[in-house]
């Protein structure tokens, strides 16, 4: 088997998570065809952002003009009149209205953009979930289910966070900076534009650099905190051992050392935060001071009025406001970028078993199965199956037995094409399964495994999982043929009874019969039984065997069994050992041969595992 094409994010180190790459991925998502229906909302939201920032930029100008009107009126010989007050009041009211519009318009934008944000979050989540489902069987078998689910969830949430941060914080801040610099240059002088841009860029750079420094300190503090907790839990868990070795003082000293390291790291973190806040305040106040001093000097020269200084001060304070979140949000932005990159790493993984280009659908005419020189090895093993040749006629019932690890279940998984053989080919009715689509192949196969795992839903939904479009008549027929009718009739809710997590509310035999009912309802031409009764007691096994015999009627059936009585009446038995076919024949032929099968049969008779009354009834074609 070939390894995945890309590094698995659950195995490799955390990606760098560059913000520029995260931004590029966001634009790819927004530009995709699935987001086309939201284009008008994106455009309108951007337009509202521009309008809101226009209101924001105009508000200080109106306030400044109101003050200028008052100061000009005070300087007149006749003193300020009613007209001067009305003009100043109108400008100040306009300032208030513009401020309200500047803060109210983003609320409209948020409501308008909300479906876009949630749809942009949904799409990568669904893509990630569907992609993991499409990966080969080895992927979920070797990964922690919770870790895979959490990775997809965090990646999708990062899309939502980054999108709202960029659209509602960074983009408006850039627009406001450009607008403020332009207004300042046009109305008051290019020098103010330089001060505004310099102050904002300096603020952003200092915040970025100092936050990078603080991230390392925070990591040291978190590691120290983890060590404190680990030390405390380890000591308290081994309380008796500590007492036995009179090590109480020693453990207290070790705990104190860990706490001192944490305290030292916490002090550094708090001091670095104070330094960051001081640097930010110095830049903000330096910019305000520069604007005020330059404005005062220009006012004395007659180039500006007093209200212009107020307008410039308000303008710079508005530009500073969205920057306050940069320091606190940096870690979240960085983590969101990492989470998004992890999700895209999953999306880049290639399945080990993939459909060939132009693969056709499998057409089953009878259900004959042939293995020709098939070899395969699981990871970490020299050989799982070796040069297997099988020829199973359509409608036959064949059994597979052998010691644990002989390769029995591997053969069935190869037939399902959960893996591709290293050499050889597997055919169904003369068609190489490597050349057909996996969905069409598995659509023609039915499986009753050793441990029937059910969804945490109703009996009805679990049985219908084999054929969701089946009608009620077909459903009840499958229930009856699987020997489930009496059990279901005894339940107050019948088929609408919930089975619990993984079917834990049902007994082993009940779960097995649900699995059989599901296989009967699917009505596949080829039925696979993988140790379907090995975990059951003899009485329950008899009931399930009767249901299995009903399911196997009229179709090709391949059964793997540990308990030989369950396959003793098969048309043909294949006994595997160390990945090879050691013996083949009927039950009587193999007993007469006195080989591996006869030895296993004798051992099971001695152990009381063979019960003749539960022998599989002879299947009928």
Tell me if 35 sits within 8 A of 119, measured CB to CB.
Answer: yes
pLDDT digits (tens, 9 = 90+) for 397-443: 998 988 887 888 888 888 988 888 888 899 999 899 988 998 899 88
| Whole-angstrom distance, CA of residue 311 vs CA of residue 62 | 8
Q: Which CATH number fits domain 449-523: 3.40.50.880, 3.40.1160.10, 3.40.50.300, 2.40.128.50?
A: 3.40.50.300
Distances (CA, A) of 204 to 22, 328, 507: 19, 12, 63
Tell me if 169 sits within 8 A of 161, measured CB to CB.
Answer: no
| Whole-angstrom distance, CA of residue 269 vs CA of residue 70 | 49
What confidence score (pLDDT) does residue 620 get?
43
A 10 A CB-CB count for 137 gives 15
What confidence score (pLDDT) does residue 516 get?
83
Q: Where do the domains of the chain lie? A: 17-167+338-352, 367-444+526-536+553-613, 449-523
Domains 17-167+338-352 and 367-444+526-536+553-613 share a fold: no
Considering the domain delimited by 17-167+338-352, tell me its CATH architecture: Up-down Bundle (1.20)
Tell me if 547 sits within 8 A of 490, measured CB to CB.
Answer: no
pLDDT digits (tens, 9 = 90+) for 333-364: 777 777 778 788 777 778 778 888 888 888 98
Burial of 553 (0-12, 13-18, 19+ CB in 10 A): middle
Regions of the chain where pLDDT drops below 50: 1-5, 612-621
Helical pair 325-348 and 145-165, crossing angle rounded to 10 deg:
130
A 10 A CB-CB count for 514 gives 25
What confidence score (pLDDT) does residue 80 get?
56
What confidence score (pLDDT) does residue 1 get?
42
Q: Strands 397-401 and 572-577: what pairing?
A: parallel
Q: pTM above the 0.85 mark?
A: no
Return the SS3 of 580.
strand
The answer for 214, left when phi > 0, alpha when psi is -120 to 50, beta otherwise, is alpha
What confidence score (pLDDT) does residue 612 get?
47
Task: Write down the CATH superfamily of domain 367-444+526-536+553-613.
Answer: P-loop containing nucleotide triphosphate hydrolases (3.40.50.300)
Tell me if 361 sits within 8 A of 520, measured CB to CB.
Answer: no
What confidence score (pLDDT) does residue 370 get?
92
Token pair 């500047």: residue = 102
What confidence score (pLDDT) does residue 75 get?
59
| Whole-angstrom distance, CA of residue 561 vs CA of residue 45 | 64
User: 583 - beta bridge partners?
Assistant: 575
**Phi and psi at residue 432, to the nearest 5°:** -65, 120
What confidence score (pLDDT) does residue 208 get?
78
What confidence score (pLDDT) does residue 302 get?
81
């Amino acid at each position: 088997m070939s390894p995945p094409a890309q590094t698995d994010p659950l195995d490799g180190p955390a990606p760098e998570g560059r913000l520029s790459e995260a931004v590029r991925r966001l634009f790819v998502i927004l530009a995709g065809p699935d987001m086309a229906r939201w284009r008008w909302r994106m455009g309108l939201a951007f337009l509202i952002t521009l309008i809101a920032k226009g209101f924001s930029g105009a508000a200080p100008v109106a306030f400044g003009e109101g003050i200028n009107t008052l100061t000009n009126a005070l300087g007149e010989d006749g003193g300020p009149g009613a007209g001067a007050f009305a003009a100043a009041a109108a400008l100040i009211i306009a300032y208030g209205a513009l401020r309200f519009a500047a803060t109210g318009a983003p609320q409209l934008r948020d409501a308008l953009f909300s479906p876009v944000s949630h749809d942009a979050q949904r799409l990568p989540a669904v893509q990630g979930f569907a992609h993991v489902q499409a990966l080969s069987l080895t992927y979920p078998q070797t990964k922690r289910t919770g870790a895979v689910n959490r990775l997809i969830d965090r990646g999708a949430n990062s899309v939502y966070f980054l999108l709202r941060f960029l659209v509602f914080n960074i983009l408006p801040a850039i627009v406001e900076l450009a607008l403020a610099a332009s207004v300042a240059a046009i109305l008051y002088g290019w020098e103010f534009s330089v001060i505004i841009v310099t102050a904002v860029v300096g603020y952003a750079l200092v915040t970025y650099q100092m936050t990078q420094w603080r991230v390392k300190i925070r990591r040291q503090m978190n590691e120290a905190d983890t060590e404190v907790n680990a030390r405390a839990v380890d000591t308290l868990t081994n309380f008796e051992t500590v007492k036995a070795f009179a090590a109480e003082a020693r453990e207290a000293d070790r705990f104190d050392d860990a706490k001192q390291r944490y305290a030292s790291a916490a002090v550094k973190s708090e001091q670095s935060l104070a330094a960051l806040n001081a640097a930010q305040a110095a830049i903000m106040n330096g910019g305000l001071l520069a604007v005020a001093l330059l404005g005062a000097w220009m006012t004395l020269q007659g180039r500006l009025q007093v209200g212009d200084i107020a307008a410039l001060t308000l303008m710079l304070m508005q530009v500073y406001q969205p920057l306050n979140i940069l320091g606190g949000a940096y870690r979240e932005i960085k983590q969101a970028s990492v989470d998004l990159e992890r999700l895209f790493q999953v999306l880049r993984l290639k399945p080990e078993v993939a459909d060939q280009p132009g693969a056709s659908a499998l057409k089953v005419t009878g259900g004959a199965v042939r293995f020709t020189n098939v070899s395969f090895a699981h990871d970490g093993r020299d050989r799982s199956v070796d040069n297997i040749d099988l020829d199973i006629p359509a409608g036959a019932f064949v059994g597979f037995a052998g010691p644990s690890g002989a390769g029995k279940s591997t053969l069935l998984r190869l037939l399902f094409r959960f893996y591709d053989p290293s050499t050889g080919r597997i055919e169904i009715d003369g068609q190489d399964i490597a050349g057909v689509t996996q969905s069409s192949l598995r659509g023609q196969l039915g499986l009753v495994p050793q441990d029937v795992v059910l969804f945490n839903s109703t009996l009805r939904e679990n049985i219908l999982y084999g054929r969701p479009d089946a009608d009620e008549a077909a459903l009840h027929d499958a229930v009856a043929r699987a020997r489930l009718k009496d059990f279901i009739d005894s339940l107050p809710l019948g088929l609408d009874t919930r089975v619990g997590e993984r079917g834990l509310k049902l007994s082993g035999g009940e779960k097995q019969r649900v699995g059989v009912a599901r296989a009967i309802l699917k009505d596949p031409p080829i039925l696979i039984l993988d140790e379907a009764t090995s975990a059951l007691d003899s009485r329950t096994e008899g009931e399930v065997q009767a249901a299995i015999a009903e399911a196997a009627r009229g179709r090709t059936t391949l059964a793997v069994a540990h308990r030989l009585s369950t396959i003793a009446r098969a048309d043909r038995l294949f006994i595997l050992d160390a990945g090879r076919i050691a013996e083949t024949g009927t039950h009587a032929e193999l007993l007469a041969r006195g080989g591996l099968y006869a030895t296993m049969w004798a051992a099971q008779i001695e152990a009381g595992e063979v019960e003749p009354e539960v022998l599989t009834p002879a299947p009928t074609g």
